[in-house]
């Protein structure tokens, strides 16, 4: 099996790749669907709103062709024209609004609801004759030519069947009553528009998967593209380190006073930190001045080292104090003995002694895992 090369684009585009492409204007543009919606919308307008327009024009024509004494005394040839325009304006505006709404809905719907203003800006590549010739005679041009011929053949076939079924009636137009002939012509025109709109819908349904496949092929990614995207999403090691350093700096901002008063810090050794102090005049037991996990715990360790505050690693005790005591509160009574052992160790250090590590015994009911869940009691050997 051939080995995948970093520059070969054989991987499907990721969600981020498709999202970035859509933001840049690379979206599906089913022109045939927009055209079909426009034709069907226009046919529906003619069927339901067209009689309103014809009635308005008929009234305007009757009014314009009616003369009386007032019309002769104050002759205004522009008045009939203004009346005709004002009568036709509401139906025409209705048609325009319908077509605009259809175009926007169809394009925004397939364009993932995005409006990309950059697509309206002029591009030099569109004005370059060489680029135009490449599009015309390149693979893209031949594909569009084949699509155009197929559309022409389908729509021409629909029109031929429409004419074939109505040829005798069309040939006899002009020999009967005007009203009936106009009604027949109106119905025939609506039938043609609906048939052509249906043909355009068929073309759009066939063209959509082709456009989708071409877009997916255009957005294919190489192995290097996947690596670069993963690196960009996750961040480089340098960036991660800078973020962690910033988080520690922020955490340090609210720890200054507490760490200055702290007598010792118990750690987990890195995931949890608790800073404590004991003053018999203030409380009968040690008080938790500050506690933290993650970046805050690391910040507490760094500040303890900078301020020469003794630090002792005792995972079980650090978690027990962290999960059972809030800041500025005394520790639980069950932890007195364990914390007293740590306090005696710290006081010995301050006297200049070199005491052994204290034996810290945390009650089983106050032992927690890193997620704060009570640990099961370990049976005695």
Stretch 39-60: mean pLDDT: 73
Give the mean pLDDT of 250-271. Answer: 79
Residue 140 has a pLDDT of 65
321 has a pLDDT exceeding 90: yes
Name the least confident of 13-22, 86-95, 335-344.
Answer: 86-95
Contact at 8 Å (CB) between 30 and 209?
no
Higher-pLDDT residue of 55, 343: 343
Residue 355 clears pLDDT 70, i.e. is over it: yes
Confidence at 207, pLDDT banded by 50, 70, 90: confident
**pLDDT above 90: percentage of residues in the chain:** 12
Structure tokens at 214: 């071409």
pLDDT band at 134 (very low <50, low <70, confident <90, very high): low
Query: Chain-centre distance of CA 262, in angstroms?
Result: 48
Single out the residue of 259, 270, 258, 267 nearest to residue 295, CA to CA: 270
Task: Tell me what the mean pLDDT of segment 275-294 comes to.
Answer: 90
Per-residue pLDDT tens for 293-320?
888 888 888 888 888 889 998 999 999 9
Give the best-scoring range by mean pLDDT among 55-59, 293-297, 327-331: 327-331
CA distance 200 to 207: 10
Q: What domains are there in the chain, each with its CATH number?
A: 27-65+77-114+136-218 (no CATH), 238-366 (3.40.1690.10)
What is the per-residue pLDDT for 381?
36
Is 335 in contact with 294 (CB distance < 8 Å)? no
Average pLDDT over residues 281-287: 89
Average pLDDT of the chain to the nearest whole number:
75
Distance CA 13, CA 113 (A): 20
* Residue 43 CB neighbour total at 10 angstroms: 20
Choose among 111, 119, 120: nearest CA to 34.
111
The pLDDT assigned to 334 comes to 92
In this model, does residue 124 exceed pLDDT 80? no
Asked if pLDDT for residue 330 goes beyond 90, the answer is yes
State residue 305's pLDDT score: 87
Residue 291's DSSP bridge partners are 274
**Model confidence at 265: pLDDT above 90:** yes
> CB under 8 Å, gap of 24 or more: what pairs does 204-207 form?
204/30, 204/32, 204/33, 204/36, 207/30, 207/32, 207/147
Q: Rounded distance, CA 141 to CA 146, Å? A: 9
Tell me: pLDDT of 204 over 70: yes
Output phi, psi for 287, to 5 deg: -110, 140
> How far apart are the C-alpha atoms of 237 and 226, rounded to whole Å?
17
At residue 197, the pLDDT reads: 82
Instruction: Please report the pLDDT score of residue 163 as a whole number.
Output: 80
pLDDT the model gives residue 378: 46
Question: Nearest Cα to 18, choosing from 91, 114, 96?
Answer: 114
Q: Which one is predicted more confidently, 29 or 377? A: 29
**What 3 state SS string does the chain have?**
CCCCCCCCEEECCCHHHHHHHHHCCCCCCCHHHHHHHHHHHHHHHHHHCHHHHHHHHHHHHHHHCCCCHHHHHCCCCHHHHHHHHHHHHHHHHHHHHHHHHHHHHHHHHHCCCCCCHHHHCCCHHHHCHHHHHHHHHCHHHHHHHHHHHHHHHHHHHHHHHHHHHHHHHHHCCCCCCHHHHHHHHHHHHHHHHHHHHHHHHHHHHHHHHHHHHHHHHHCCEEHHHHHHHHHHHHCCHHHHHHHHHHHHHHHHHCCHHHHHHCCEEEECCCCEEEEEECCCCCCCCCEEEEEEECHHHHHHHHHHHHCCCCEEECHHHHHHHHHHCCCCEECCHHHHHHHHHHHHHHHHHHCCCCCCCCCCCCCHHHCECCCCCECCCCCCC
Query: In residues, how long is the chain?
Result: 381
- 112 vs 80: which has the higher pLDDT: 80
pLDDT at 370 over 50: yes
If one compares 116 and 364, the residue with the highest pLDDT of the two is: 364
Residue labelled with tokens 């169809």: 106
Instruction: List b or e across 306-315, with b for residues whose CB sees 16 or more CB atoms inside 10 angstroms.
Output: eeebbbbebb
Structure confidence at residue 2 as a pLDDT band (50, 70, 90): very low
Q: Where is pLDDT greater, at 155 or 89?
A: 155
């Amino acid at each position: 099996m051939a080995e995948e090369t970093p520059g070969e684009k054989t991987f499907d585009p990721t969600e981020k790749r498709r999202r970035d492409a859509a933001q840049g204007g690379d979206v599906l543009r089913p022109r045939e669907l927009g055209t079909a919606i426009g034709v069907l919308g226009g046919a529906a307008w003619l069927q339901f709103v067209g009689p309103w327009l014809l009635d308005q024009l008929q009234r305007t024509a009757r009014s314009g062709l009616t003369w009386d004494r007032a019309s002769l005394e104050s002759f205004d040839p522009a008045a009939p024209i203004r009346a005709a325009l004002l009568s036709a304006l509401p139906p025409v505006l209705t048609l325009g609004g319908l077509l605009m709404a259809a175009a926007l809905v169809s394009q925004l719907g397939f364009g993932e609801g995005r409006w990309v203003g950059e697509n309206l800006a002029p591009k030099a590549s569109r004005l370059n004759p060489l680029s135009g010739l490449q599009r015309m005679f390149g693979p893209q041009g031949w594909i569009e030519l084949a699509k155009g011929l197929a559309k022409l053949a389908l729509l021409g076939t629909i029109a031929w069947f429409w004419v074939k079924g109505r040829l005798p009636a069309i040939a006899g137009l002009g020999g009967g009553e005007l009203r009936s002939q106009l009604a027949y012509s109106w119905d025939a025109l609506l039938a043609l528009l609906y048939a052509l709109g249906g043909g355009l819908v068929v073309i759009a349904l066939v063209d959509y998967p082709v456009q989708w496949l071409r877009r997916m092929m255009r957005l294919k990614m190489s192995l290097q593209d996947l690596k670069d995207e993963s690196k960009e999403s996750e961040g480089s090691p340098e960036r991660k380190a800078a973020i962690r350093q910033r988080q520690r700096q922020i955490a340090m901002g609210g720890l200054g006073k507490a760490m200055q008063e702290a007598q010792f810090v118990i750690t987990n050794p890195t995931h949890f930190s608790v800073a404590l102090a004991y003053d018999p005049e203030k409380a009968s037991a040690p008080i938790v001045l500050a506690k933290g996990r993650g970046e805050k715990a690391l910040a507490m360790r760094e500040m303890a080292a900078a301020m020469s505050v003794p630090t002792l690693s005792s995972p079980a005790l650090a978690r027990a104090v962290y999960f059972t005591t809030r800041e500025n509160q005394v520790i639980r009574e069950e932890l007195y003995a364990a914390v007293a052992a740590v306090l005696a160790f710290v006081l010995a250090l301050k006297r200049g002694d070199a005491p052994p590590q204290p034996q810290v015994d945390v009650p089983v009911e106050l032992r927690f895992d890193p997620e704060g869940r009570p640990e099961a009691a370990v049976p005695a050997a």
